[in-house]
Amino acid sequence: MSSPISVRLDDATRELLESEARDRNIGLSALLREIATEAAKEARRRRTRQQMQAVAEYIAKNPEAQEFFEFWGTPRAELP
């Protein structure tokens, strides 16, 4: 469920965003939703990359983690 928010923009920024919204044939609110949604997705991707980097650094420094990753992280095909 969505909920409304209020954002204060300076005149120049509002004019620029309204112009962009007109060029896309959408309202200012729709444009701001698109911008906010894309920013949230990028923040999630950035956070995921940082977490993956932290795991990789931990594995690189820890022999026990390397052994675990080698065994469980490598797909193996069982032949009949």
| Angle between the N-to-C axes of helices 28-61 and 11-23, in degrees from 0 to 180, rounded to the nearest 10 | 100
Q: Where are the domains of the chain?
A: 11-72
- Of 33, 5, 26, 28, nearest to 15 (Cα)? 28
Confidence at residue 80, expressed as pLDDT on a 0 to 100 scale: 62
pTM listed for this prediction: 0.69
Q: What's the pLDDT tens digit per position in 27-64?
A: 999 999 999 999 999 999 999 999 999 999 999 999 99
Predicted pLDDT of residue 72: 79
Written as six digits, the tokens of 57 are: 């650094």
- What is the C-alpha separation between 32 and 28, in angstroms, rounded? 6
Structure confidence at residue 25 (pLDDT): 98
Separation of alpha carbons 55 and 64, rounded Å: 13
